[in-house]
């Protein structure tokens, strides 16, 4: 199963690298901000963003020495739908993540949720948003004003997603993928990053069910980045591969020194 999955993902990477996909015109900062304490006056709404894309690194070496090193890197763009994010009115504290900020009458938090996201390379498709495909959990987030900088909001999402490999093969995460970025307005113009950890991927979306067949190792999701294109994302892949290679060299060197 793992060998077959590795071959499928490798073929999808080749297909994705040759795909030529158009990007829609984005309108960053058209709803709220920038400015001091911009979160305080940001009304609830629905942000629909056409210009977004991601680079996702996956390992299928489960239990092996490279289980947390990306062997497959997928370049995905938002050709298949708009990125749709809902946001609440300003809050004293988050309803999604209680304790995010002190309850002090300062309306410095906005709760968010990815309603729908679809990224593709023409062959493989990644979806997020409760009810999209087989996804059963909501992708909740928040924006909280930086206590030391009223111009900046600390934004994050806990994302549950589905990777559609085609041919009836799907991957799901049971633990949310946390992506985070500092933003100065909404919709933001930023790249959300995922801390370098191994996130188990399963063949079933229900926790405790399915087979663990892969790990998500890296994820970068760019929103409204000027000039972002498939070429730019491929360059991001090259940088990720270089970083992974350097990590492997350093790890081998440390083992040799320890021996």
- pLDDT tens digits, one per residue of 200-257: 999 999 999 999 999 999 999 999 876 544 444 444 444 444 445 444 444 555 555 5
pTM exceeding the 0.85 threshold for the entire prediction? no
- pLDDT tens digits, one per residue of 237-246: 444 444 454 4
Q: What is the pLDDT of residue 232?
A: 47
Measured between alpha carbons, how far is 123 from 125 in angstroms, rounded to an integer?
7
| DSSP-assigned letters across all residues of 4-43 | HHHHHHHHHHHHHHH-----PPP-TTSSB-SSTTGGGG--
- pLDDT tens digits, one per residue of 34-80: 999 999 999 999 999 988 999 999 999 998 888 888 888 999 998 88
Task: State the DSSP code for 160.
Answer: -
User: How many domains, the chain?
Assistant: 1
Q: Which domain holds residue 228?
A: 2-258
Residues with Cβ within 8 Å of residue 172, at least 6 apart in sequence:
134, 135, 160, 161, 162, 163, 201, 202, 203, 204, 205, 210
């Amino acid at each position: 199963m793992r060998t077959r999955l590795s071959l499928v993902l490798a073929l999808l990477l080749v297909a994705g690298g040759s795909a030529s996909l158009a990007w829609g015109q984005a309108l960053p900062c058209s709803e709220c901000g920038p400015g001091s304490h911009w979160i305080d006056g940001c009304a609830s709404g629905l942000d629909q963003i056409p210009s977004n894309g991601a680079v996702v690194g996956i390992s299928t070496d489960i239990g092996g020495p490279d289980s947390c090193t990306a062997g497959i890197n997928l370049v995905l763009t938002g050709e298949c739908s708009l990125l749709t994010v809902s946001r609440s009115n300003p809050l004293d504290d988050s309803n999604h993540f209680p304790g995010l900020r002190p309850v002090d009458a300062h309306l410095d938090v906005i709760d968010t949720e990815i309603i729908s996201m679809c990224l593709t390379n023409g062959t493989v498709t990644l979806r997020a948003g409760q009810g999209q495909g087989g996804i059963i959990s909501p992708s909740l987030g928040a924006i909280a004003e930086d206590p030391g900088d009223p111009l900046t909001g600390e934004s994050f999402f806990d994302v549950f997603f589905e990777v559609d490999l085609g041919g009836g093969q799907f991957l799901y995460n049971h633990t949310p993928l946390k992506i985070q970025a500092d933003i100065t307005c909404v919709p933001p113009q930023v790249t959300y990053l995922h801390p370098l950890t191994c996130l188990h991927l399963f063949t079933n979306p229900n926790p405790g069910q399915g087979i663990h067949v892969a790990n998500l190792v890296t994820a970068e999701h760019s929103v409204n980045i000027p000039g972002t294109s498939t070429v730019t994302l491929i360059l991001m892949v090259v940088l990720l591969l270089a970083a992974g290679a350097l990590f492997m060299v350093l790890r081998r060197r440390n083992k040799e020194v320890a021996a």
